[in-house]
């Protein structure tokens, strides 16, 4: 009997439908960093894998790159996709723990130390919606930030991980290995259902020096290749952390400087968020926002001029888009069902807003506002 006729090959490298949906939604939030997609896939796969090792965290992802390239946004995107709220996570600033004494605040004070809270004392009981002062990473605080979510996955983002003291990384090395921590008050914390996102600028100073050396006398020069960047980052990791730490990382992802086209896409995504905000108004007040390419380019220019970055977008959008629209709503010049077309005239210091009262009426300029 030929048993091979009963065999069917399994395509184990093909993502499931839910994985593809998760990745697509993630890519709508984290723009211009195609390698970040790997984090979304790994996290989703681990969360839904009944065979994963549950004696350690779901995933430990080390994200390295220049500031304002989307590293922290990656953690926020995961939180929003899993819990419906980008703030449903614990944010640890490693720079707050540059000494062993400061680290005591993270572990929680033990008995006989100032700040110790006896977990057996009823007076120290904390309401579900209140923050637990014992430790930022206590089980109570991890549960609190995702109250109301149907997902039991915790997310901890550690900003600028390399700025923590040696005891800081050693503390987390133990957590990454065993998935547990005993706080100073003796209460255990389980991290086996936690995603850790570590952000870092490791190697970026060396990359800048390399870039400057290449560019002297040669204009702007070519952009470093991925192998160049990868080699510098790998060397920086090796110099700063021992193998037993590096081996606990599930992925090291390099984030690149955002390209001009990626920044435009980010602006467009932010404008789409404005439309979502409009859609959340009472039904009789909902209108359609139509912004052309000149609007995106103007907002991007305002955000990045004078050494700024895409991080300034929210402030710029508030000034040039939300404030004028809100003003007209309060004046009653924008009504539900209107279509507001936004454009920018070359050289103008503000956007131009035009109102179309119905699809059958030709567009007539109604509003031309300059943000104060």
Domain at 17-254: CATH code:
3.40.50.300
pLDDT on residue 219:
39
Rounded Cα gap, residues 26 and 80, in angstroms: 9
In terms of Cβ atoms closer than 10 Å to its own Cβ (0-12, 13-18, 19+), residue 334 is: buried
Rounded to 5 degrees, φ, ψ at 144 are: -60, -40
pLDDT (mean) for 133-140: 95
Give the sign of the dihedral formed by CA 125, CA 131, CA 136, CA 140: positive
Identify the weakest region by mean pLDDT among 140-149, 177-186, 272-281, 353-362: 353-362
pLDDT score, position 214: 54
Return d(Cα 195, Cα 82) in angstroms, integer: 11
Q: What is the pLDDT of residues 42-75, one digit of tens each?
A: 999 999 999 999 999 999 999 999 888 999 999 9
pLDDT exceeds 90 at position 223: no
- CA 209, distance to chain mean position in Å, is 28
Percent of the chain with pLDDT over 70: 90
pLDDT value of residue 213: 59
Spatial CA neighbour of 240 closest among 228, 225, 252, 223 = 252
Q: Which range among 3-17, 272-286, 317-331 shows the weakest confidence by mean pLDDT?
A: 3-17
Q: Quick check: 264 pLDDT over 50?
A: yes
Does pLDDT of 216 surpass 80? no
Q: What is the CATH number of domain 260-368?
A: 1.10.8.60
Evaluate if residue 92 carries a pLDDT over 90: yes
- Ordered by start, the domain boundaries in the chain are 17-254, 260-368
**Mapping DSSP to helix (H, G, I), strand (E, B) and coil, where does residue 341 land?**
strand
Q: In the prediction, which pLDDT does 366 show?
A: 44
DSSP per position, 263-298: HHHHHHHHHHHHHHHHHTS-GGG--EEEE-HHHHHH
Give the DSSP H or E segment for 353: strand 352-356
């Amino acid at each position: 009997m030929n048993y091979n006729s009963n065999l069917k090959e399994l395509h184990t490298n093909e993502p499931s439908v839910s994985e593809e949906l998760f990745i697509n939604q993630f890519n709508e939030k984290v723009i211009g960093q195609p390698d970040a997609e790997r984090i979304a896939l790994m996290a989703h796969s681990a969360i839904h894998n009944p065979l994963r090792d549950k004696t350690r965290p779901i995933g430990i992802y080390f994200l390295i790159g220049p500031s304002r390239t989307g590293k922290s946004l990656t953690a926020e995107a995961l939180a929003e996709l899993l819990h419906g709220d980008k703030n449903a996570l614990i944010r640890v600033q490693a720079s707050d723990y540059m000494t062993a004494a400061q680290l005591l605040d993270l572990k929680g004070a033990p008995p006989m130390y100032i700040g110790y809270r006896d977990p057996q004392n009823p007076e120290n009981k904390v309401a579900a919606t209140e923050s637990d002062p014992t430790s930022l990473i206590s089980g109570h605080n991890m549960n609190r930030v995702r109250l109301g979510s149907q997902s039991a996955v915790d997310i901890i983002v550690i900003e600028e991980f390399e700025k923590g003291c040696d005891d800081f990384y050693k503390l987390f090395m133990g957590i990454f290995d065993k998935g547990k921590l005993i706080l100073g008050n003796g209460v255990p914390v389980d991290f086996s259902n936690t995603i850790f996102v570590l952000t870092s600028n490791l190697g970026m100073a060396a990359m800048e020096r390399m870039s400057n050396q290449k560019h002297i006398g040669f204009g702007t020069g070519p952009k470093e290749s991925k192998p160049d960047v990868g080699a510098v980052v790998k060397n920086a990791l090796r110099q700063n952390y021992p193998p037993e730490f590096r081996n606990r990382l599930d992925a090291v992802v390099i984030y690149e400087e955002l390209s001009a086209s990626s920044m435009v896409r980010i602006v467009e995504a932010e404008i789409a968020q404005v439309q979502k905000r409009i859609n959340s108004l009472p039904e009789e007040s909902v209108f359609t926002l139509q912004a052309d390419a000149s609007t995106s380019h103007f907002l991007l220019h305002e955000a990045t001029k004078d050494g700024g970055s895409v991080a300034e977008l929210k402030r710029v959008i508030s000034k040039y888009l939300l404030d004028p629209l809100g003003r007209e709503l309060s004046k009653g010049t924008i009504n539900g069902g209107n279509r507001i077309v936004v454009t920018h005239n070359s050289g103008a210091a503000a956007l131009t807003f035009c109102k179309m009262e119905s699809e059958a009426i030709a567009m007539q300029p109604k509003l031309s506002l300059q943000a104060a």
